[in-house]
Amino acid sequence: MTMNLKSLSAIALLALAAVGPARAVDDSIYRGLGGREGINNIVATMIKLVLADPRINETFVDSDMKRIEIRLGEQFCVLSGGPCVYNGDEMREVHGGLKVTNAQFNALAEDLQIAMERNNVPSYVQNKLIAKLAPMQRAIVTR
């Protein structure tokens, strides 16, 4: 079968129609968190709470908290639909050897929630970010 230019462009149009119009990313959670600045403030508050939280702080004694702070900010930005790139390692890889429990996971989520509350994030936005993190539990909790 020979293809002329006309049939090729018809195929190209069909392919485009199948993909559909480009959809904008929903960044409503990102905006609800206060954008990049809001996320930076939330993560800074969260790190302080985590380091003061006897349920989990021992896990972080040998960690570079500045690195975690930067990576968490990137991750929350991406998850919330913001214009960022996550430059960290995969959750399974990072937490694999830490033997994190469900109780510890929940403690950290609670600290995040308090951090959002203190930074005036509306509760429906808080819940949406927490819901985005919930699927990571399977990769992070190994005990």
By the criterion CB under 6 A, which residues form the site for ligand HEM?
Answer: 56, 59-60, 63, 67-68, 71-72, 75, 88-89, 94-95, 98, 100, 104-105, 108, 133, 136, 140
Q: With respect to ligand HEM, which residue has the nearer C-beta, 10 or 99? A: 99
Residue 13's CB is within 10 A of a number of other CB atoms, namely 10
CB of 19 to ligand HEM, least distance (A): 32
Q: With respect to ligand HEM, which residue has the nearer C-beta, 35 or 137? A: 137
DSSP 8-state secondary structure symbol assigned to residue 139: H
| Closest residue to ligand HEM using C-beta atoms | 88
Q: How far is CA 98 from CA 33, 87, 102, 134, in A?
A: 29, 21, 12, 18
CB of 105 to ligand HEM, least distance (A): 4
C-alpha 21/C-alpha 42 separation (Å) is 35
Q: With respect to ligand HEM, which residue has the nearer C-beta, 23 or 66? A: 66
CB of 6 to ligand HEM, least distance (A): 51
Residues 6+ away with beta carbon under 8 Å from 40: 73
Q: From the CA atom positions of the chain, what is the Rg in Å?
A: 21
CB of 104 to ligand HEM, least distance (A): 4
Q: With respect to ligand HEM, which residue has the nearer C-beta, 59 or 127? A: 59
- H-run or E-run covering 18: helix 5-19
Residue with tokens 């975690």: 68
